[in-house]
Structure 1
Amino acid sequence: MPDEQKYCFLTFDIEEWFQVENLKDAISAEEWDSFPSSVENNVQRILDVLDSFSIKATFFILGWIAERHPQMVKRIHDSGHEVASHGYNHQLTYTLNDKKIREDIRSARKKLEDLCGASIRGYRAPSFSIDDRLVDVLQEAGFTYDSSYSPFKLNARYGNITRAMEENGSVLRFDNGLLEVPLSMARLGKFTFPIAGGAYFRLLPLALFRMLVGHFINKNEFYNFYLHPWEFEPEQPRIDSIRWDYKIRHYTGLTKTREHLIKFIRFLQRKQCAFITIAEYLELNDYTK
C-alpha cells in the first residue's frame, strides 16, 4: 500500500450490558448470572454490519463472556476477525492487587487461546484503566500490544501511564517492549475532543463527530475506534437507580448506534481508510519484529 494510506481499526469491547462501570452502583458482580444475557444477539448485529462491508475488526473479549459463550468466540475468530483480551471480570485494573490482576489477565488469555487455538496478542483494560504496573504485567504475560491508553484526562476512570510520551495517532513502545496503540483524540487549538467512539459517538451529533475524525485522519496514519455490544441494544433493561449523568452516558443514542455506524463506515471509506485489525497493522508496519 502507498505510504499515504490511512488505516482504521474498528474495535469492539465485548461485555454484557449489566457489566458496565456506569451500572456498578446498582448491580454487583455476584448478580451478573441472574440477569438475561443479550451479548450474542448484539455481537451478531455487529458482525452483520461488518460482513455487509467485508470489514475485519478487533474484538476485545472478557474471559467471563468467553466462558459462557464459547461458540460466539469461535465464530468471531473463524470469521477472520482478531480476538483479543478485555481481561476476565471487567474490573478496573488499578483496583486489583498484584496477585488478582495477574490471575485476571492470565485466566482470560488462556480461555481465549483455548477456544481459538491461536495466540492472543492484544489487550484492552476495562474502562481503559491502564497504569504503569499493568504495562509490566502484560509484557510478562506475553502480550504484544495494549490498546487502553487515552490522552483524554477528563474521565476519572481512565488510567494514567508515565512511561510513554503523549503522542497521538502513532504506535508507542514502552521500555519493556510492549506496544501501545492509543485511543484517538482530536486536538483543535487549545481544545481536545475524545473521538475514539463509545458514548462520545452517541452523544455528539454525527456531523460534528465526522468533522473531528476527518480532521484527525488528515494528520495521522491510523484511527482507533471502539463500541460495545450493548450500545446496539436500545431495548435493554433500564436501571433507574443510577446517577443521572450515568443514565445520560449509558442510554443516550442507543436507538441510532447501528444506523450511525453504517453511515460512519461509509464516511471513512470516502476518506480512503483501509479497515484492518490492530494485529495486522502492527505486522504490516514491522512493529512486531
Structure 2
Amino acid sequence: MEGTFSVTVDIEDWYHIPSVCSSPYAVYRSVNEFFDKWKGQYDFLTEPTKRTLNMLEEFNITATFFVVADTIEHYPGLIESIAEKGHEIACHGLHHACKIDPETKKPLMSAEEFEQKTLLAKRNLEKISGEKVIGYRAPNALVGGWMLDSLERIGFKYDSSVSVNSLYNKTDSSLKTVSSYPYYPVERGLEAGDERNFIEFPWAYYQNLLKIPASGGPVLRFLGAPLVLNGLIQSLKRGHTIFYFHPLDISCAKFPSIGNNRPFYWCVKGKLVERRIRHILKSLRSIKKLCLRDYPGIS
C-alpha cells in the first residue's frame, strides 16, 4: 500500500450543524442568536473531545483539529487542551456558518465579509494555540473556488473541504479534474491547476461503478466502517488522503431535539461509532500519518 494519510477532527457542537444554526434553513439565524435565546444545556462537546484526545494518544497520533473559533469563548480551556497535546489547530470558521447556498451554490456573503470573519477566527485560534493557523475546512464542506483565493490572501496555506463523489456536490465546481489526493487549485476555482502556494486536500472516496464518499463523518455513522476503510485503502493507493470525524460522533449523550430538515442526523453515534473509528485506526496503524501542517508540499 502506498501513500500517507492524515487524521483530522472537526470541533463543533450539536447546535453548529446547519439544521440548527447559520444556514438558509436553520432554526436560528446565527450562533449568537442561539445563545441569546437558548436556555438549556448546550455543552455536549467537552466530554467526547476529552475521549478523542485519549484515543489519539493511545494510537500515538498527532491530528489536525479544525476548530470553530467561537468554541474558544463558550468552552474555556478546551481548545488549549488540544494544542497542549501537540495537535495542529486549524480553522473551521468563526461560527460554522454556510458560506455558499447549499442548493444554488451561490455566495451567501461577499469575499470581503468572508475574509474579515475568517481572519478574526484565524487570529483568535492563533492566540490560543501559540502557533500560526494555516489550514481551513469549510463549515458543512460547502466551498467555492472564490473562498480559496480569499484564504490564500489572508495567510492560509491549505484547505481540506472538497469531496469528490457521485452522490452530491457541495462545491461550485464540477470537480472533473479532482481525485482524492492533494492538488493545487486554479485561481477562482476548484479544478486542478498549476503549482501555487496553496494546496487542497480533498477527501477519500471508494470507486466501483460510483464514487462513494469515504473519508468519515456522517458516512462513517450511517454506512459503517467497511466502506470507509475500503475507500481509505483505495485512496491511499492514489496518494495522500484524509480521514475525519467529530467528537460528537462518539458522544453517548442525547442531544436536544431541535433542528429543521435533518430529524435523523444523530440517530447513529456513541460507542458504536467509536468502535468503528478504532477499527479503522488499528487497520491503518502501519501507514505513515501526517499532521497536515507537515505535508511536504506546504512551505
Decide: shared fold, TM above 0.5: yes
247-256 vs 197-206, greater mean Cα deviation: 247-256
Cα distance in structure 1, aligned partners of 2:165 and 2:122? 28
Matched, 1:226 2:244: yes
Corresponding position of 1:31: 34
AA matched with 1:31: F
- Structure-2-length-normalised TM-score: 0.84
CA contact (8 A) 1:102 1:137 kept: yes
229-238 vs 9-18, greater mean Cα deviation: 229-238
CA contact (8 A) 1:62 1:85 kept: yes
Aligned equivalent of 2:180, options 162, 165, 169: 169
Q: Residues 136-174 of structure 1: CA distance to partner in whole angstroms, max 9, x if unpaired? A: 110111100011111135336x22347x76332321113
Determine which structure has the larger helix proportion and give its number.
1
| Aligned pairs, number | 274
Matched, 1:252 2:262: no
Measure how far apart 1:5 and its partner are: 4.9
Corresponding position of 2:191: none
AA matched with 2:4: Y
Q: Residues 218-273 of structure 1: CA distance to partner in whole angstroms, max 9, x if unpaired? A: x2222201111211213132416643xx233332244412121111111112xx31
Q: Residues 55-84 of structure 1: CA distance to partner in whole angstroms, max 9, x if unpaired? A: 100000011112333522222112111100
Call closer, same or farther: CA 1:110–1:240 in 2, change over 3 Å: closer
Matched, 1:215 2:215: no
CA contact (8 A) 2:213 2:219 kept: yes
Matched, 1:6 2:3: yes
Aligned equivalent of 2:144, options 131, 137, 140: 131
Cα distance in structure 2, aligned partners of 1:273 and 1:130? 29
SS of corresponding position for 2:146: helix
Cα distance in structure 2, aligned partners of 1:100 and 1:137? 10
Measure how far apart 1:129 and its partner are: 1.3
Corresponding position of 1:50: 56
Cα distance in structure 1, aligned partners of 2:221 and 2:264? 10
SS of corresponding position for 2:70: helix
Call closer, same or farther: CA 1:179–1:165 in 2, change over 3 Å: farther
CA contact (8 A) 1:201 1:209 kept: yes
The gaps in structure 1 that reach 5 residues or longer are none
Aligned equivalent of 2:172, options 160, 175, 187: 160
AA matched with 1:167: V
Call closer, same or farther: CA 1:241–1:74 in 2, change over 3 Å: closer
Cα distance in structure 2, aligned partners of 1:117 and 1:124? 20
Matched, 1:204 2:223: yes
Q: Residues 155-199 of structure 1: CA distance to partner in whole angstroms, max 9, x if unpaired? A: 36x22347x7633232111345321111111211x3111001111
Matched, 1:180 2:200: yes
Corresponding position of 2:105: none
Cα distance in structure 2, aligned partners of 1:76 and 1:51? 11
Q: Residues 89-146 of structure 1: CA distance to partner in whole angstroms, max 9, x if unpaired? A: 1111122233321222111000011111211010001011111210111011110001
Call closer, same or farther: CA 1:102–1:208 in 2, change over 3 Å: closer
Call closer, same or farther: CA 1:153–1:105 in 2, change over 3 Å: farther
Q: Residues 20-48 of structure 1: CA distance to partner in whole angstroms, max 9, x if unpaired? A: 12334334531146342122212111101
AA matched with 1:160: D
Matched, 1:288 2:285: no
Query: What's the RMSD between the two structures over aligned residues?
Result: 2.2
Call closer, same or farther: CA 1:109–1:260 in 2, change over 3 Å: same
CA contact (8 A) 2:111 2:147 kept: no
CA contact (8 A) 2:68 2:94 kept: yes
AA matched with 1:288: I
Q: Residues 193-215 of structure 1: CA distance to partner in whole angstroms, max 9, x if unpaired? A: 10011110011132343233333
Within 5 Å, give how 1:63-212 maps onto structure 2.
63-94=69-100, 95-152=108-165, 154-155=167-168, 158-161=170-173, 166-175=177-186, 177=196, 178-188=198-208, 190-212=209-231
Cα distance in structure 2, aligned partners of 1:211 and 1:105? 35
- Structure-1-length-normalised TM-score: 0.86
